[in-house]
Structure 1
Amino acid sequence: MSEPSLADLLDTVRVVSIPLRVRFRGVAEREVALLEGPAGWGEFGPFLEYGPAEAARWLSSAVEAAWLGRPPTVRTRVPVNATVPAVTPDAVPGVLARFPGCTTAKVKVAERGQSPDDDVCRVAAVRAAMGPHARIRVDANGGWDVDTAAEVLGRLAPHGLEYAEQPCAEVEELRDLRISLARRGIDVPVAADESIRKAEDPMRVRDLDAADLIVIKAAPLGGVRRALDIVAECGLPAVVSSALDTSVGMASGVALAAALPQLDHACGLGTVALLDGDVTADSLLPVDGQLAVRCVSADAALLDRWSAPPDRVRWWRDRLSAAWELA
């Protein structure tokens, strides 16, 4: 099927702004642009601070979904984890209640303005709420240096961590952290996220032996097919995650997880539960800790309900045009 023109994209684009139940990544509302093509719907939702070059990959993913469709899958359901933002310990049970049946939780740590004590208390609250057999992983979004990461992970390790996601910002730091953890006898695997999806050369994670596993996301990597290629080339176990998408965008993440030859970890694809609204009445929400693999179509009435103000629509149309030049 032929690729769309920029005019095709601008003719179909709809921009929505959906409030979050809890602030996440420092934002209270999630803005995304949705595209409709012959294969269905795609989502263009790079975070607002991302420049055109990075946004171009997100646009490629949206175009893949709407004009090309998704590749064949090998499973019909995908296990997902609960996602716990940087909330106070007393708020943890309420957050976990939005993820029924999930036996794995990802906990945000290293939040700006918070301390390691806050992280330890939050993880302890998750462990207390989920019990001894649940899996808990933490995500620092590159917020620690090597020494801080080793110290805090040493404090968190007694709570039983599945892994630490992007504890440090640079690939070299991840490598050094793995060495430091081994020397200290701290058994916490390291996962690379931003070092894969934001890198010019994601294979440096493999080449420097900087991670035990990788976290992949369809949109930031340019689509499902490109993400599958990266996993195959990297050769490390992969966890599929999302980027705070609506159900339209989440469907691409689910399709990616469903197409992986091997899937040993619950996926971070349950974050539609963090939105206080959606673009479809049939949201992609976990049932018994799993998501069904299916397509999602946007609902016209909900697109109208969550439609962004005119100035934001213009901003997104300009952003789409800039990304198109580089896609």
Structure 2
Amino acid sequence: MIPKVRLLEYEIPFTSPFVFNVGGKRKTFITRQGLLLHWLFGDQSIYTEIAPLPGFSNETLEQCKQQLLMLNSSDFSASASPNHLYPSVRFAIEAAWYQLEYPLRSTAVRSCSLMDKNSECHRIKTKAGHQSIENDVLSLKSVLAQLLPHQKLRIDANRTWKIEELETLQKSLNTSQIDYVEEPLKCFDHYQPNGLPIAFDESLRELDPQKPVPEIFFTAKAWVLKPMLCGLQRTIKLAELARENGIACVLSSSFESNVSLEFYHSLAQDLELTEEQGLDTLKYLEQDLQPAKITLREQTVAMADCKEIARLC
């Protein structure tokens, strides 16, 4: 079956300017831009999103748009192999066929609170590594001191520390309050089990999917998976491998709209993920792209305009 597919584009304001590291330089964005695919399977309507994240995705939004415009109708069929497509384009096509078989659930999963020290969530996530290790230690001590007894901290360093700095961190902080440190090291070869819980994110995306996962990855406490950045089927396979090996699996959003966030909440339930998921980014966007199917906001927001670019099939 080949569905009818329309390509649309959107632009949603951030609630405040957001800074991403793009090509080694910090760049400020005031809006989140992306694409939507609107699928019609007979009378059933499904939306999926293409939203590469600046500084993290290898492909740009313009590259995705041009790739989509060059596809044939057969590329949108269930039997098509999307492996040659950009990860975010591949995700959007895979997600449509997945939802056709597994419709969205109606409830949300528990999420880790992103950069909100006043939250009562069980897991709080904070960024680190963009200052000296001494200042990182002071900042993290301050955050840890404010945690409630039931809370633990997730620290995302985005590969900024040397092994010596990670050791300084371990000696300086109360590690019993730390859930894990995500991608702390600049040099992957320096990873070794040292008692501090580690999570892998970017390193997982860089693995060759045709080769076995190296043993060092199985020493981690958690794998953080971004479906928009590695594709849906690859995400599912890694989540299943993590579960088989007793590793926590956390789906992580990439500042997508409510279209993808609702899908991730549903997917986490399909995969029976029990950890607090990394899905607390919708609060940074002022608008939604369609009426909510799963309640993820405390109050409703305006709908963003979507402009049709082309009918793809």
CA shift in 2, pair 1:140/1:226, >3 Å: same
C-alpha contact 2:183 2:201 (8 A) present in aligned 1: yes
State the distance in 2 between where 1:156 and 1:34 align. 44
1:62 is matched with which residue: 92, 100, 125? 92
Structure (1 or 2) with the greater helix fraction: 1
State the distance in 2 between where 1:170 and 1:256 align. 32
C-alpha contact 2:52 2:59 (8 A) present in aligned 1: no
| Matches for 1:219-234 after TM superposition, within 5 Å | 219-223=228-232, 225-234=233-242
Name the residue aligned to 2:165. 148
2:37 is matched with which residue: 35, 38, 41? 35
CA shift in 2, pair 1:246/1:156, >3 Å: farther
CA shift in 2, pair 1:35/1:164, >3 Å: same
| 2:199 equivalent to 1:191 | yes
Name the residue aligned to 2:177. 160
Structure 1 counterpart of 2:96, one-letter code: A
Give the drift of 1:216: 1.3
Q: Secondary structure at the match of 1:148?
A: helix
Name the residue aligned to 1:212. 221
State the distance in 1 between where 2:297 and 2:140 align. 22
Q: Deviations over 1:60-103 (max 9, x none)?
A: 1112233541664899441101111xxxxxxxxxx445x5x522
Name the residue aligned to 1:254. 265
State the distance in 2 between where 1:274 and 1:203 align. 37
Q: Secondary structure at the match of 1:270?
A: coil
Give the drift of 1:278: 3.0
Q: Deviations over 1:7-26 (max 9, x none)?
A: x4xx4222314224363435
Q: Deviations over 1:143-193 (max 9, x none)?
A: 12222222224323357101111112454333x3x2xxx3xxxx4211111
C-alpha contact 1:135 1:161 (8 A) present in aligned 2: yes
**TM-score, with structure 2 as normaliser:** 0.72
CA RMSD of aligned residues (A): 3.4
Q: Secondary structure at the match of 1:267?
A: coil
Structure 1 counterpart of 2:58, one-letter code: G
Name the residue aligned to 2:58. 51
Give the drift of 1:241: 1.4
Structure 2 counterpart of 1:188, one-letter code: L
Structure 1 counterpart of 2:160, one-letter code: G
C-alpha contact 1:18 1:278 (8 A) present in aligned 2: no
Name the residue aligned to 1:290. none
C-alpha contact 1:42 1:249 (8 A) present in aligned 2: yes
Structure 1: unaligned runs, 5 residues or longer: 85-94, 288-298, 322-327
CA shift in 2, pair 1:168/1:252, >3 Å: farther
| 2:81 equivalent to 1:81 | no
CA shift in 2, pair 1:206/1:76, >3 Å: farther
Structure 2: unaligned runs, 5 residues or longer: 21-25, 65-85
C-alpha contact 1:127 1:136 (8 A) present in aligned 2: yes
2:122 is matched with which residue: 95, 103, 109? 103
State the distance in 1 between where 2:254 and 2:217 align. 26
Structure 2 counterpart of 1:214, one-letter code: W
Q: Secondary structure at the match of 2:10?
A: strand
Q: Secondary structure at the match of 1:244?
A: coil
State the distance in 2 between where 1:12 and 1:190 align. 39
Structure 2 counterpart of 1:47, one-letter code: L
Q: Deviations over 1:196-247 (max 9, x none)?
A: 1233248434466452321112222211x43121222343321221111111
**TM-score, with structure 1 as normaliser:** 0.69
CA shift in 2, pair 1:275/1:198, >3 Å: farther
Give the drift of 1:35: 1.9
C-alpha contact 1:218 1:256 (8 A) present in aligned 2: no
Give the drift of 1:284: 5.1
State the distance in 2 between where 1:254 and 1:205 align. 29
| 2:18 equivalent to 1:23 | yes
Structure 2 counterpart of 1:251, one-letter code: E
Q: Deviations over 1:250-291 (max 9, x none)?
A: 123212211223x3421111111122333245485267xxxx
| Matches for 1:97-136 after TM superposition, within 5 Å | 101-111=120-130, 114-136=131-153
Name the residue aligned to 2:285. 275
Q: Secondary structure at the match of 2:91?
A: helix
C-alpha contact 2:109 2:276 (8 A) present in aligned 1: yes
Name the residue aligned to 2:303. 302
CA shift in 2, pair 1:24/1:248, >3 Å: farther
Structure 2 counterpart of 1:36, one-letter code: H
C-alpha contact 1:75 1:258 (8 A) present in aligned 2: no
C-alpha contact 2:287 2:304 (8 A) present in aligned 1: no
Q: Percent same amino acid at aligned positions?
A: 22
